[in-house]
Structure 1
Amino acid sequence: MKNLGKHAIVIGASMGGLLAARVLSDFYTNVTVLERDAFPAADAPRKGVPQGRHTHGLLARGSAVLEAFFPGYNTEVVAQSGGVLGDVANDVIWIGHNVRLANGASDLIGLLASRPVLEGHLRRRVLELRNVRAMENCAVRGLATDPGRKSVTGVRACVEGKPEETIHADLVVDATGRGSSSAAWLEALGYQPPADEKVEIGICYTTRTYRRRPTDLGGKHGIVVAGSAPNWRNGVMLAQERDSWIVSTGGFLGDDAPDNDQGFLAYLATLPTMEIHDVVARAEPLTDFRRFRYVSSLRRRYERLARFPENYLVFGDAICSFNPVYGQGMTVAAEEALALQQCLRAGPNDLARRFFRAAAHIVDIPWDIAVGNDLRHPEVKGARPPMRRFINWYIGKLHLAAAHDSTLATAFLKVVNLMMPPSSLLSPAIAMRVWQGNRRPVPSAPSPAIEVARRNSASS
């Protein structure tokens, strides 16, 4: 790799920031990661990652990219921390449109572990690199620039208990997540901030961790329930380290799951399967209930800006943060790291424009998946052009066929796991299987979970 400068700075030691630092280490003599938190001694949740106590898992594409950047990462998480590697299409139960997809062997290998474990292993691997260091308890107050404000030359930062200082760099990357200050910093420098796109979803989910038994779910590694009519409630239960389950459930627009035993179980009973409910009903709780609120999916259109300072980039969730129930964030950051690597290989000229265009292309697919599915909910506001309505109708038909066709189920999960583009589901071979699978429609019937909920309600 050619050297592009003496020093690069990454603001934020999130998964995205750590991946950015890994890429920069190949092109800059030294890389410094500035983090406002103190790193935990063990792999424990930290203040700067409020979602870290909730359900996480690496999609198959994210798992593959991390393994490429850090050979042995996946097996290390399993061997040292008890993470779980498995076939996403065969070892996990997927329910969407109130239909359970057929399981079948595939090459989609995902990694299940808590966010602190995933991040902790990644942080240690990054900081083992000879030219990467981290500064903890370091708050970045703003950008340093040349007199003409055309080029970023570093950051103004303050380590806890010390006066503010300017840390100079040849490149600065903002990986501070959804709460990024880049738009405000740009405006203060006389630049137009990026336009925002928002989809208000009002997602709130309640999470608790339970003891996992080998016989739970028939030995499967997890279950994912995507919200659908009539109540649009989501549920997920995934295997985690130390023989535990992490269970999250919630709904849109204020339909919160209760944070008490009786209410939580009653809420789980309204999902289109009783499998999560039945495990939770007999499992030993390992934590208290926790809640996480997520108001809107947010995308910042940096690729559309006409002017942008040199030697500065925005990365990961600071560009786009999605409805977290789809589990896309870490994988998108991994894809952006690959794009950054390719852009740096071509040299530093016009870097921001090239990277933001590449990142926008990466974001387009998961954004369309998340937003398109959320707009199935009639009360979520947003444009529903004819093509989007057709795609949602078609995906519903695909699910019906995939209930008995594991090839279709795997094709769909390749898209969900960002291994294939959504257009692959419209190929003639897949469309033919969807048509054949819907030739004999199965009469609709209330789900067992809804029937149980109705009986419980009637008897109370």
Structure 2
Amino acid sequence: MIHRLLGVTGDTTAVVIGASIGGLLAARVLREHFGRVVVLDRDTLGAAPAHRRCVPQDHQLHVLLARGRTALEELFPGLSAQLRDAGAPMVDLHGQVHWYNDGYLMRRAPSDLVAAGVGRPLLEHTIRERVLALPGVRLVARTDVTGLVLSADGSAVTGVHLSTGGTLAADLVVDAGGRASRGPLWLSAAGFPVPAEERVQVDVTYVTRRYEYQPEHLDGMSGVLTNAVPGAPRSGIAATQEDGLVAVALNGMLGERPPTDDAGMAAFADSLAAPHLATIIRCAVPAGDPVTMRYPASVRRRYERLRRFPEGYLVVADALCSFNPIYGQGMTVAALEALLLRRLLNTSGGRTTGLARRFFRQAARIVDGPWSIAVGTDLRFAEVPGRRTLKVRFVNAFVHRLHRAATRDANLGAAFLRVLNLVAPPTSLLTPGTILRVVFGARGTISRPRTPAPVAAEPAVRA
């Protein structure tokens, strides 16, 4: 039996389904209150950073927002320095990045919004090593969870069924199985209601390729970003990472599919507002092949609205809400949920009675902000189905004017980036002072949006 293999006897045990970032962060917090924490994952997990078969998105460019980095630092003191020592650059998101919002180039300024330029495999590996170094934490790979074990009266989850044929008892089971979580199916099979789902169909395809970083390709900066706009559902981002590389991601919404050949990628980049992307593609030396991934829809599961839910079970991270990856919110929200779980367990002295109800209610408030940013922005596109309230239409029009004014007013750029990085709530953009800056700034002489044009550059010699 797996109990003997793990040495799980006596005391309290928490089981985490999934060893991706959301599951690892939950395990980190749970170890503060449980004698043992067992993390189960169906993948093979190596001793060094590597791409994972069951995490296909880890080939793509990931962005750890400024609030996400500070949240991880709360959970793992010294993590930023550890990533920096591993070669990941720390980037001032306002002072070291070219931002082309709606075609308008934001005025740069130094800021305290610092993000880590790190690939997903290195970040996940570093966190996993920190978690597994905690006494009482065990990771079991190549093991899938096939269902929940229920108490005799069916009111509580008391463990999990394993693909190996055994069961594992637990005082708390945390489902961090991602957007493919089978939680709703398990709840239905146990006679519990399933959460309502909100879906926003965006049909995003993104292609990421890494290149050898040359500062001149980014005018000495560490990144560049340009967003999609109605009528042109294409976007792109480049970000420096560890190993002296820069990752370029080309994104298409609503069926737009970036190509993967050199000429096609360059032509796609030429259609974007930021000229640096095409320069990198044409001039930099590739460090690997382009990788494509498709993301059909943002999905939010409304667990906080359920009237009945079993004790001893919790759902976190992407299993709770999966965001359009273009906005880079997923890892940061997972970290904020882990901090919430820590607060709730600290407050209750580690007791889990009623934990799910409290967690889901407060996690919904964490999700509300980034969900409104992602969905509200996606609803600018007429092809995206959804209800466009007066508030959504007003905010989108206002933010467009803010982008115009931010070409000259660095304070407006700072306000926008604080919201984008989940440091400040979206409502902070609607303070009287910010509104006045936008109204009067947008009336001034403002640079027009950049009209994309082909970048004249000599291509790099490619092997």
Structural mapping, 1:228-307, within 5 Å: 228-307=229-308
Tell me if structure 2 keeps the 8 A contact 1:40–1:46.
no
TM (norm. structure 1) is 0.94
Tell me if structure 2 keeps the 8 A contact 1:273–1:448.
no
Q: 1:367 aligned to 2:371?
A: yes
SS in 2 for 1:216: helix
Distance 1:285 1:443 in 2: 34
Between 221-230 and 364-373, report the one with greater CA deviation: 221-230
Cα-to-partner distance string for 1:136-174 (whole Å, 9 max, x where unaligned): 11110100011111010000113xxxx411100100000
SS in 2 for 1:138: coil
- Match in the other structure for 1:105: 110
Cα-to-partner distance string for 1:119-151 (whole Å, 9 max, x where unaligned): 000000000001211101111010001111101
Q: Displacement, 1:98?
A: 1.3
SS in 2 for 1:387: helix
Distance 1:169 1:342 in 2: 21
Q: Displacement, 1:214?
A: 2.9
TM (norm. structure 2) is 0.94
Instruction: Letter of the 2:388 partner, please give it.
Output: R
Structural mapping, 1:5-404, within 5 Å: 6-80=12-86, 82-158=87-163, 163-347=164-348, 348-404=352-408
Cα-to-partner distance string for 1:84-118 (whole Å, 9 max, x where unaligned): 11211111111211111111111111111100001
SS in 1 for 2:311: coil
Q: After TM superposition, what 4+ stretches of structure 1 lie above 3 angstroms from structure 2?
A: 441-445
Tell me, which stretches of 5 or more residues in structure 2 are unaligned?
A: 1-10, 456-463
Instruction: Letter of the 1:239 partner, please give it.
Output: T
Q: Displacement, 1:229?
A: 3.5
Distance 2:78 2:427 in 1: 32
Tell me if structure 1 keeps the 8 A contact 2:37–2:137.
yes
Tell me if structure 2 keeps the 8 A contact 1:201–1:380.
yes
Between 301-310 and 403-412, report the one with greater CA deviation: 403-412
Distance 1:236 1:272 in 2: 11
Distance 1:41 1:172 in 2: 26
- Match in the other structure for 1:456: none
Tell me if structure 2 keeps the 8 A contact 1:9–1:33.
yes
Question: RMSD of aligned C-alpha atoms?
Answer: 1.4
SS in 2 for 1:379: coil
Cα-to-partner distance string for 1:344-368 (whole Å, 9 max, x where unaligned): 1232221110000011100000000
Cα-to-partner distance string for 1:301-354 (whole Å, 9 max, x where unaligned): 000000000010000000000000100000000000011111112322211100
Tell me, which stretches of 5 or more residues in structure 1 are unaligned?
A: 454-460
Distance 1:40 1:378 in 2: 45
Distance 1:443 1:71 in 2: 43
Q: Displacement, 1:78?
A: 1.3
Instruction: Give the aligned length.
Output: 443
Distance 1:101 1:444 in 2: 12
